[in-house]
Amino acid sequence: MSFWKQLVNRFRDGVGEEIDWEPLLIEADLGLKLATEWVEDLKENGLTRNPEKAEAHLRDKMTKLVRIPPPLPIRQQPEVILLVGVNGSGKTTTAAKLGARYQKAGRTVHFGAADTFRAAAAEQLEAWGTRLGIPVTSAAPGTDPASVAVRSLLAAQESGANLLIIDTAGRQANKRNLLLELGKIKRSLQKKIETVPHHTWLIADGMTGIGVLSQAREFHEAIGLTGLVVTKLDGSAKGGMIPAVRAELGLPTYYLGRGERPEDLHRFEAGSFVENFFD
């Protein structure tokens, strides 16, 4: 039986078809705000006592909510993706997976190893670079990460790469001083090209559940996110934080990680995500 069907059965009132919808949706990691809104919508449409029709209605609402917007044209080269997130979310591995994916699509990729705090972070990205044939700009541990990001940008320009992926150190969302360092990286890049980074993506561990929403709030306030990549959805993670973040912050999810191999990073697709969520 699917996770969703188990929840529906668990939150039945035990007598009739009435479902206790709000705690059910919260349990599904949709968050209090979105759960409350959707319960009111179910009530207005007279669907609270009909689980099948309620599910169909919620499927439609979720599909419309999480669709990826059409990409904006990027005229400057290289296109720059800045990856941020908390410790252990999988940023460096995701950088490698993205590089492999875009390289396979015909892009010329450059890596920037701006995580100068975690032991062996640069070495990890360099190992991936060697494996994939992607050049890496790195520096000694303790180097100012903003300077590494800028040198990465200059190196990518000089080599003619059309995509630069910058990995940054993990930092806890409630440590304001560490979040402010991300602002320095962004400002330093913009001194070279005003419009970069074109994308600032939060790499979020799907096993964190609705905690991803609080992470997204903090990082969005500190640096201005443009989207999410959700990792580790190959376990028991429900994925409900994806519509929760989209509803509250307007941030789309672009990729889902479901394994360790480069090919295990999948482009987010609203229809299949909703199907997996409910089934």
Predicted confidence (pLDDT) at residue 2 exceeds the cutoff of 70:
no
Does 257 share its domain with 172? yes
Does 192 share its domain with 242? yes
> Measured between alpha carbons, how far is 51 from 13 in angstroms, rounded to an integer?
12
| Signed CA dihedral, 70, 240, 98, 79: sign only | positive
CATH number, domain containing residue 94: 3.40.50.300
Which is it for strands 163-168 and 199-205: parallel, antiparallel or unpaired?
Answer: unpaired
- In a domain, residue 275? The reply is no
Does 225 share its domain with 128? yes
Does 239 share its domain with 164? yes
Does 89 share its domain with 59? no
Task: Please report which helix (H) or strand (E) contains residue 259, including its range.
Answer: none
Contacts by 17-23, CB closer than 8 A, 24 or more apart:
17/49, 17/50, 17/51, 18/48, 18/49, 19/48, 19/49, 19/51, 19/54, 21/48, 21/54
Does 48 share its domain with 106? no
- In a domain, residue 274? The reply is no
- Among the candidates 66, 95, 116, a domain finishes at 66
- Among the candidates 66, 96, 121, a domain finishes at 66
Does 52 share its domain with 146? no
Predicted confidence (pLDDT) at residue 15 exceeds the cutoff of 80:
no
pLDDT value at residue 244: 96
Report field, pTM of the whole predicted structure over 0.95:
no
> Measured between alpha carbons, how far is 229 from 203 in angstroms, rounded to an integer?
5
| pLDDT band per the 50, 70, 90 thresholds, residue 13 | low
Contact call for residues 153 and 164 (beta carbons, < 8 A): yes
Contact call for residues 245 and 213 (beta carbons, < 8 A): yes
Sheet holding 253-257, edge to edge: 136-137, 109-114, 163-168, 79-84, 199-205, 227-231, 253-257, 265-267
Does 91 share its domain with 15? no
> Measured between alpha carbons, how far is 59 from 99 in angstroms, rounded to an integer?
33
pLDDT per residue over 184-225, tens digit each?
999 999 999 999 999 999 999 999 999 999 999 999 998 999
- In a domain, residue 279? The reply is no
- In a domain, residue 74? The reply is no
DSSP string covering 160-216: T-SEEEEEE----TT-HHHHHHHHHHHHHHHHH-TT--SEEEEEEEGGGTTHHHHHH
**Considering its fold, how many domains does the chain have in total?**
2
pLDDT per residue over 225-245, tens digit each?
999 999 988 665 578 999 999
Find the domain containing 122 and state its range: 79-268
pLDDT per residue over 146-192, tens digit each?
999 999 999 999 999 999 999 998 877 556 677 788 999 999 999 99
| Percent residues over pLDDT 90 in the chain | 70
Predicted confidence (pLDDT) at residue 17 exceeds the cutoff of 70:
no
| pLDDT band per the 50, 70, 90 thresholds, residue 84 | very high
pLDDT value at residue 100: 95
- In a domain, residue 72? The reply is no
